[in-house]
Amino acid sequence: MRPRTIWLMAISVGVIVANIYYAQPLLADIARDLHFSVVTAGLVAMLCQIGTVAGMLLFVPLGDTHERRGLIVKLILGAAVSLIAFAIAPNVTCLAVAALAVGLFAATVHVIVPYAAHLAPDDQRGRVLGFVFSGLLMGILLARTFSGFVGAQFGWRSVFWTGAVAMLVLAALIRWQLPKSDSELQLTWRELVGSSWILVRDHAALRESALAGALGFAAFSAFWTTLVFRLGAPPFHYGSRVAGLFGLVGAAGALGAPIVGHLADRRGPRDTVMVALAVGAMSFLVMGFWGSSLAGLIVGVILLDLGVQSAHVSNQTRIYAIDPAARSRLNMVYMVCYFSGGALGSYAGAHAWQLLGWRGVCGFGAVALGAGALLFTRGRLPQPR
């Protein structure tokens, strides 16, 4: 697998997944412009992730039966159209529909990731996935930095116009640079989805990893959905620009992903997941007790992103070892659960903020990640390695 291919895949997943997260530092600005509440802002963030869940059900299984490069290019063009719709939305109803579409086509990421796993040699798969996931998390985090700065300077709509142009450029690069990848599997979409539930039934490792991933991403999404409101409240009084800067802080955690992937190759991914979720739970304790200072928030963000990213890489390394011929479907099951957790976390975080303030958000995150860690320490499901 050529380094150029790995780099392009890492950059691609980062640029595509960023589409879901551009809105988060801008939610306060968008809410003021279109006249809606904090809870409605949480709903918009949730709809992006619900759209991603729908996209994974519709598109990701096709990676096991379709030529992957052509499928990816078509989906990226759909992403460009959805971003334009978001940029021109005149009211909250149109914005909600566009948010759903943005999430739908952002599922393209989860066609690319199994493609990378397919191309990687067996003894390097964890390392390659770690590198690709570094691009993924960098996209998630730096999207906030980019949108916070551009939105503060040129208005929130300009962010989504820029994202649409980026999609068109990326579609051209993938069409010219990635190798074709035909599949010999001949199944209809209905048969693909039906066989996915057989994988869920037969593999406890898949069930365990999917539940742990959902809990981790629920906590992660609750934090990032409400951070802009926390920074806008006393004692900070900051705007979208500073909220975006926290993406740079969180990017420090993404740098650990290739190391974590290497450890998962050598020591097994299950123990890595347990430790990573515990680190994530600790981050919310730090932010709950010391979140009234920037230093406390910065330390918490680094720990949170390191923990959630490490758990995610290890979970994916684990599930891809189950059945090489079913990696797209395995990824679909895992990521449907993952983004379902994220969607619920976004909405629950907004409610926790409205009812209990910042400590309510931190309490929710700590409980979600702590429950995920207990799943592994107590062995509530069978513990295959």
**CA atoms of 102 and 296, how far apart (whole Å):** 33
Asked if the structure places residue 297 within a domain, the reply is yes
Q: Do 337 and 214 contact (CB within 8 A), yes or no?
A: yes
Asked if the structure places residue 383 within a domain, the reply is no
Q: Do 198 and 104 contact (CB within 8 A), yes or no?
A: no
**CA atoms of 182 and 144, how far apart (whole Å):** 36
Q: Which of 273, 253, 255, 259 is nearest to 314 (CA)?
A: 273
Rounded to 5 degrees, φ, ψ at 3 are -55, -35
206 three-state secondary structure: helix
**CA atoms of 181 and 179, how far apart (whole Å):** 6
Residue pLDDT, tens place only, 277-296: 998 999 999 999 998 898 99
Asked if the structure places residue 140 within a domain, the reply is yes
Asked if the structure places residue 273 within a domain, the reply is yes
Asked if the structure places residue 16 within a domain, the reply is yes
pTM higher than 0.85:
no
Asked if the structure places residue 385 within a domain, the reply is no
For 237: left if phi > 0, alpha if psi spans -120 to 50, otherwise beta; the answer is: left
Q: Do 125 and 266 contact (CB within 8 A), yes or no?
A: no
pLDDT at 139: 87
227 half-sphere exposure, CB direction, 13 A CA radius: 33
Q: Which of 78, 322, 366 is nearest to 215 (CA)?
A: 366
Q: For residue 151, what are the contacts with CB-CB under 8 A and spacing of at least 6?
A: 25, 26, 29, 158, 159, 240, 244
Which letter does DSSP use for residue 380 in this model?
Answer: S
Asked if the structure places residue 298 within a domain, the reply is yes
Angle at which helices 294-320 and 125-154 pack, to 10 degrees? 140
Q: Which of 85, 109, 275 is nearest to 163 (CA)?
A: 85
Q: Which of 64, 139, 47 is nearest to 333 (CA)?
A: 64
Range of the domain at 325: 3-378
- Please enumerate, as own/partner, the contacts of 230-233 that have beta carbons within 8 Å and a separation of 24 or more: 230/291, 230/353, 230/358, 230/361, 232/28, 233/358
> Which DSSP helix (H) or strand (E) runs through 382?
none
Using alpha carbons only, give the angle 89, 94, 99 rounded to the nearest 5 degrees: 90
Asked if the structure places residue 384 within a domain, the reply is no
pLDDT at 238: 85
pLDDT at 263: 62
Using alpha carbons only, give the angle 293, 299, 302 rounded to the nearest 5 degrees: 140
pLDDT at 256: 63
Q: Is the dihedral of CA 179, 49, 79, 245 positive or negative?
A: negative
Q: For residue 370, what are the contacts with CB-CB under 8 A and spacing of at least 6?
A: 277, 278, 281
pLDDT at 385: 45
Q: Do 65 and 326 contact (CB within 8 A), yes or no?
A: no
Cis peptide before 235 (omega within 30 of 0): yes
Cis peptide before 61 (omega within 30 of 0): no
pLDDT at 384: 44
CATH label of the domain that carries residue 360: 1.20.1250.20
Taking only the tens of pLDDT, the chain with its 385 residues reads 688 888 999 999 999 999 998 988 888 888 888 888 877 887 888 898 899 889 988 887 777 677 888 899 999 999 999 999 999 999 989 999 999 999 999 999 888 887 887 777 777 777 787 788 778 878 877 888 899 889 989 999 999 999 999 999 999 999 998 888 776 566 677 777 788 889 999 998 899 999 999 999 999 999 988 988 898 888 888 877 787 778 777 776 656 656 665 665 666 677 788 888 998 999 999 999 998 898 999 999 988 988 888 888 888 888 888 887 787 788 888 988 998 898 899 889 989 998 999 999 999 999 999 999 888 775 444 444 4
Number of domains in the chain: 1
